[in-house]
Amino acid sequence: MAFTKKFGIAAAALLGVVVFSTATLRAEEGGPEEQPKPARQSWSFAGPFGAFDKAQLQRGFKIYKEVCSNCHELHIPIRTLAQPGGPGFTEDQVKTLAATYTVHDGPNLQGEMFDRPGRPSDYFPAPFPNPEAAAASLGAPPPDMSLLAKARKYERGFPAFVFDALPIPGGMYQELGPDYIYAILNGYTHDDDPNWNLYFPGHKIAMGKPLSPSQVEYADGTPTTLDQYAKDVAAFLYWAAEPTLEQRKRVGIRVMIFLLVFAGLLYFTKKKIWADVAH
């Protein structure tokens, strides 16, 4: 009896904490006026069963190629685009694409550096010879995009970060990076100042508003709005930062299933072993 009572109290206390913290979590999502936290978006690749939307990755790549790559480096091999679990380009498409880039190579047998068409094993060429040159011409060095979506996070604060880790609805939350990129691209809210950004720490960003509606053409009829562009390029950058995400999630699920089955087997083994022991 005493046990049931204690258990009841503990359960009630736990419920209280959960309800209270969820309320705080809701209140925090907007954040203070001056420096709001990026809002949480819904991504196809979120959660344990998450997977990339190939068409979205292809659109995001188009935006990177036509807009972002003028300033930002993306230090991954071009052939990554044909890897399974990615945008689904064929080997031939990637070969053709790679050949459109000019790669500085060498030295040749005469000891000279030379330019040649790119190959799938080359990395996407950087738009500037070094970060200093980029900073001199743009006011600040644009960060390499290969890890941007993983490297940029913001504080969710307590208790949100606890719930973000739990396997509960709305939990297991890892997409802060793409939420941040999406927010930055939508954060140019002062029309008179192209370098004012609501979500950039301190609001002054050296990158002038890089994207506007209808700037990039979409062949698949997807609306060419800023909102759509921001989502697509953020998804692409998340894939670029972790091209093997789908494999990782698949292995995770298999491990969980295995552990469940194994726990069941252990339980019955234990029952059998102890069956004849008086207790």
By the rule CB under 6 A, 78 interacts with ligand HEC: no
For ligand HEC, the closer CB: 78 or 207: 207
By the rule CB under 6 A, 149 interacts with ligand HEC: no
Q: What distance in Å separates the CA atoms of residue 108 and residue 161, rounded to the nearest whole number? A: 54
**Residue 261 CB neighbour total at 10 angstroms:** 10
By the rule CB under 6 A, 156 interacts with ligand HEC: no
By the rule CB under 6 A, 67 interacts with ligand HEC: yes
Q: What distance in Å separates the CA atoms of residue 107 and residue 118, rounded to the nearest whole number? A: 16
Of 245, 206, 213, residue with least CA distance to 229: 213
146 dihedral zone (left: phi>0; alpha: psi -120 to 50; beta) = alpha
By the rule CB under 6 A, 177 interacts with ligand HEC: no
Q: Is the dihedral of CA 67, 72, 74, 78 positive or negative?
A: positive
By the rule CB under 6 A, 245 interacts with ligand HEC: no
Q: Are 63 and 236 in contact (CB under 8 A)?
A: yes
Residue type, 176: L
Q: Which segment (23-31, 139-147, 163-171, 267-275) binds ligand HEC by CB under 6 A? A: 139-147
Which residue of 25, 68, 82, 97 would you call a contact of ligand HEC, by CB under 6 A?
A: 68
By the rule CB under 6 A, 143 interacts with ligand HEC: yes
Q: How far is the CB of 125 from ligand HEC (least distance, A)?
A: 15
Q: How far is the CB of 165 from ligand HEC (least distance, A)?
A: 23
For ligand HEC, the closer CB: 172 or 211: 211
Is 247 strand, coil or helix? helix
By the rule CB under 6 A, 198 interacts with ligand HEC: no
CA 164 to chain centroid:
15
Q: How far is the CB of 138 from ligand HEC (least distance, A)?
A: 4
Of 38, 76, 63, residue with least CA distance to 210: 63
Task: By CB under 6 A, name the binding residues for ligand HEC.
Answer: 63, 67-68, 70-72, 138, 140, 142-143, 152, 181, 184-185, 205-207, 210-211, 233
